[in-house]
Structure 1
Amino acid sequence: MPPAFSLGGTIMLTILQALKKIKHLDRKIEKTRERIQKWCSYIDPLEAPPQYDTNKLMQSLNDLLAEKARLRHALHTTNALHTVDYKRVKVTVDELLITATVTIPAMINALKLQRRKEKPYGLKDDPNWEESQRPKVVMQYDPSGRDKTIDKLENDLMEIETLLDEVNITTDISQYLKA
């Protein structure tokens, strides 16, 4: 894991570095949990004493969980307070994340519901129906307009993801880390 770099004598921790640290902590937490489960009990006369002291493992697990919580809190605080310009409007990183992960995908899914086109099965080849009497399929949406809107939303999503990538690399969260 790359070390946090210094800016004017203070150590800077970016969002991306914090996310990497959290992922690393998750792996360590999982290994510690497995060790606790494996070594929490043993049969005295038949087995050798445990390789690990489970009390120390529990303390280690609690320390790892506390560090993960501290980093997550700093991330959430940064996302809620840090603003960026998106389409000439100042928005928080949190608003961008919600837009990218919830709002835009829901809008795209709603637009994709309009793909259905009725087909007059059975009526098409019925000799009793004259061509002028056959029912016409009426579409209550504009397929090309729907597709253009979906393309626009997907482009917005790519813009947001690019902006979030830049924010993840450059934004310092160290001011929100509690000791």
Structure 2
Amino acid sequence: MGKLLEPVAPGCYRVGPSPFQFLWIAANELPLRDELVPFLVARSGRALDEFARWVAPRREVEWVLSMVQYMPMSAWTREDLKRRFGRSDDPEIEARRQEILQTLLADSLEVTERLVEKGIERGQQQGRVTEARAALRRVLARRGLALSPAQEARIDDCSELVTLERWLDQAVTSASAEEALA
């Protein structure tokens, strides 16, 4: 004789016949209620997506962030939850958003530090390129070697420090701007 499932409540079934009485809880079929959250996290597929959107405004930020990080919900739902944490004109919502961002940054301090270091390095590199362009123009001007609009554009378009330094070295002894930018 096979096992029978007898519904006793939405999403709850008594399994029998059996020498022991027990319930099978079908998380995807449970109603969305706060007292059922420990069971609702076991949902899957669309039911999990529905639960994630329902529970996000009802729980602490850390709980929601953990859920987004660890639960296998759809990409659409994950992005929807992230959008809910976007900038708002409402001061209370913006304060919660800032709390979320601070939590994320604190949890991933190493990643944040690497991003800051890369940003600093990129800024320093851009500063060196800008300074090399200015130095090249100063040397050419002091030597009385006028730049055509096309040569000005060529200097502005160059973002390789090695090339700008080579042109600067050549500008010290070149007879023309064209020769300096060769």
Q: Structure 1-normalised TM-score?
A: 0.31
> 1 or 2 for the larger relative contact order (CA 8 Å, sep ≥6)?
1
Q: Whose helix proportion is higher, 1 or 2?
A: 2
Q: Structure 2-normalised TM-score?
A: 0.31
